[in-house]
Amino acid sequence: ESYDMGGHDTYMHKEIHEQVDAVDRVLRGRIDDRFSTVRLGGLNLDAREARGVRRVKILGCGSAYHTGLIGAQLIEELARIPADAEPASEFRYRNPVVDPDTLYIAVSQSGETYDTLAAVQELKRKGARVLGVVNVVGSAIARETDGGVYVHAGPEVCVVSTKCFTNTAVAFALLALHLGRIRDLSVADGKRIIDGLRKLPEQIAEVLRGEQEIEKLAAEYANAKSMMFVGRVRGYPVAREASLKLKEVSYIHAEAYPASELKHGPLALIEPEVPTVAVLPDDDLLEKNRATLEEIKARSGRILAVAHREQEKADHTIVVPRNEPELDPILMGIPLQLLAYHTALALGRDIDKPRNLAKSVTVE
């Protein structure tokens, strides 16, 4: 991929459409069908060390932190290692307990974000093992970590992350699969995830073919006073990232909450001018999520659902293709990138360079 606009009006649009190839690239040469696992050459973590990991802590900022939330879920689900993500910008100021059995992972597109780099340096000083999930090859975080997984999204120019977000989530799926197969993930489940990963590029292309519909929806929601984004478990990091993206590029105020938390306060904000985007994968929580939609409707809230099938309680549904449930967050985020993009376009925003923001924050 080049810096050439390739017929697109903005880098954001170009980069959203590059995701089909970008995801293909992060998978390329890494799948090992013989053992239903993946090869991650740069990890520097042998099987014995991987088995000794008791916890995983993922650190990043902004969108990178959100991919960390997805990564932590994938690692818990596939490798059954307790995992969580935390903003790198907060981590080192709370004098964290640095545990030798914890695997730390720094995640960054640029590999130069000061807060993330400083967290890595603090961890290294305390003797921790730190891996990187990084896009820019040879960047500071890539150099300072003990090993890691390159994201291979290619150059990302738009301040707002799209293809790197998706590729990082896929890179975490690879890492989780790798750790899982060293531990207790069965051959059958390994194969199931690999088959799902292989389907992603074509399914992303399918989502992108629905762009015109999403453009119409963006026109309808662009007059919102504020927007609420909700999801549960796998849907929640998607809601977090979609809310950030909308804020960054359209300047519409947005909040993201676990759908289960709405009734504990944010429901007070719901009114016709505050629509809700609900991320509703067809999982065990679907019925509970539908009950939340009813609560929103009862307060005259408009609802845009992102789901695997039409949601009758929603005013509109963007239907995304099904894959393996663990991979739901990867596909479900993509229509919401297009929603943010077309909302910003409808509002005449400076899409590639939103006000007050820089692509890489290299100061504290």
Q: Which of 11, 15, 62, 177 forms a contact with ligand AGP (CB under 6 A)?
A: 62
| Contact partners, residue 162, CB within 8 Å, separation at least 6 | 12, 15, 16, 19, 156, 245, 337
Least Å distance between CB 300 and ligand AGP?
32
3-state secondary structure at position 347: coil
**Binding test (CB under 6 A) with ligand AGP, winner from 37, 102, 108, 323:** 108
- Which residue, 72 or 81, has its beta carbon nearer to ligand AGP? 72
Binding track over 193-232 against ligand AGP, x by CB under 6 A: ----------------------------------------
Q: Are 341 and 12 in contact (CB under 8 A)?
A: yes
Task: Tell me if residue 359 is catalytic.
Answer: yes
Cα–Cα dist 257/237, whole Å: 9
Q: Which of the ranges 200-208, 275-283, 338-346, 353-361 carries the binding residues for ligand AGP, by CB under 6 A?
A: 353-361
Q: Closest approach of Cβ 100 to ligand AGP, in Å?
A: 26
- Our CA dihedral for 356, 107, 42, 30, rounded to 10 degrees, sits at -90
| C-beta of residue 92 within 8 angstroms of C-beta of residue 86 | no
Q: Which is nearer to ligand AGP, 14 or 181 (CB)?
A: 14
Please give the Cα distance from 162 to 153 (Å, whole number).
Answer: 10
Query: How many other CB atoms sit within 10 Å of the CB of residue 290?
Result: 18
Confirm or reject binding of residue 27 to ligand AGP (CB under 6 A).
Answer: no
Give min distance, CB of 240 to ligand AGP, in A: 11
The single residue listed with the structure tokens 């290619």 is 154
Give 135 or 292: the residue with its C-beta nearer to ligand AGP: 135
Q: Where are the alpha helices (DSSP H) in the chain?
A: 11-17, 19-27, 47-51, 62-74, 88-91, 114-125, 140-144, 163-182, 187-209, 211-221, 235-250, 286-298, 328-332, 334-346
Nearer Cβ to ligand AGP (160/173): 160
Name which of 16 and 64 has its Cβ closer to ligand AGP: 64
Of residues 128-167, which lie at the interface with ligand AGP (CB under 6 A)? 159-161
Q: Does 351 bind ligand AGP (CB under 6 A)?
A: no
Among 20, 53, 61, 105, binds ligand AGP (CB under 6 A): 61
Q: Which of 121, 226, 260, 360 binds ligand AGP (CB under 6 A)?
A: 360
Q: Which of residues 240-279 bind ligand AGP (CB under 6 A)?
A: 248
Say how far apart CA 75 and CA 98 lie, in whole Å: 20
Please select the residue that binds ligand AGP; options are 10, 19, 89, 113, rule is CB under 6 A: 113
The answer to whether 10 contacts ligand AGP (rule: CB under 6 A) is no
Does residue number 64 form part of the binding site for ligand AGP (CB under 6 A)? yes
DSSP state of 98: P
Report how far residue 150's alpha carbon sits from residue 170's, in angstroms, rounded to the nearest whole number: 11
Is residue 109 a contact point for ligand AGP (CB under 6 A)?
Answer: yes
CA 40, CA 42: separation in Å to the nearest integer? 6
d(CA 8, CA 71): 31
**Site residues (vs ligand AGP, CB under 6 A):** 61-64, 108-110, 113, 116, 159-161, 248, 357, 360-361
